[in-house]
Homo-oligomer: A and B are copies of this chain.
Amino acid sequence: MSTKAQAEGGQRRRGPGRRPGRRPGAADTRGEILAAARKVFAAKGFDKATVRGIAREAGVDPALVHHYFDSKEGVFVAAMQLPADPGEVIPRILDGPREQTGFRLVRELLTITASPQAREPMMALMRTAMTNEQAVGMVREFLMQAILGRVITLAGVSPLRAEAAFAQLFGMMAMRYIVKLEPLATVEIDELAEVIGPAVQRYLFDD
Please give the residue numbers on chain A whose beta carbons come within 8 Å of chain B beta carbons, in ascending order: 126-127, 129-131, 136, 139-140, 143-144, 148, 159-161, 163-164, 166-172, 174-175, 178-184, 187, 191-192, 195-196, 198-199, 202-203
Tell me whether A164 and B130 are in contact (CB under 8 A): no
- Shortest CB-to-CB span from A87 to chain B, Å, is 19
Tell me whether B180 and A175 are in contact (CB under 8 A): no
Residues from chain B with a CB closer than 8 A to the CB of A180 are 136, 140
Given A129-B178, A140-B181, A167-B174; 5 other pairs, CB 8 A cutoff: A136-B178, A140-B179, A160-B195, A163-B183, A164-B192
Closest-by-CB residue of B relative to A140 is B179
- Shortest CB-to-CB span from A151 to chain B, Å, is 12
Residues from chain B with a CB closer than 8 A to the CB of A159 are 182-183
Residues from chain B with a CB closer than 8 A to the CB of A126 are 130
Tell me whether A183 and B160 are in contact (CB under 8 A): yes
Residues from chain B with a CB closer than 8 A to the CB of A168 are 167-168, 171, 199
Give complex CA distance A183, B144 in Å. 11
Tell me whether B169 and A187 are in contact (CB under 8 A): no
Tell me whether B167 and A187 are in contact (CB under 8 A): no
Tell me whether B127 and A181 are in contact (CB under 8 A): no
- Shortest CB-to-CB span from A115 to chain B, Å, is 20
Give complex CA distance A170, B174 in Å. 9
Residues from chain B with a CB closer than 8 A to the CB of A175 are 163, 166-167, 170
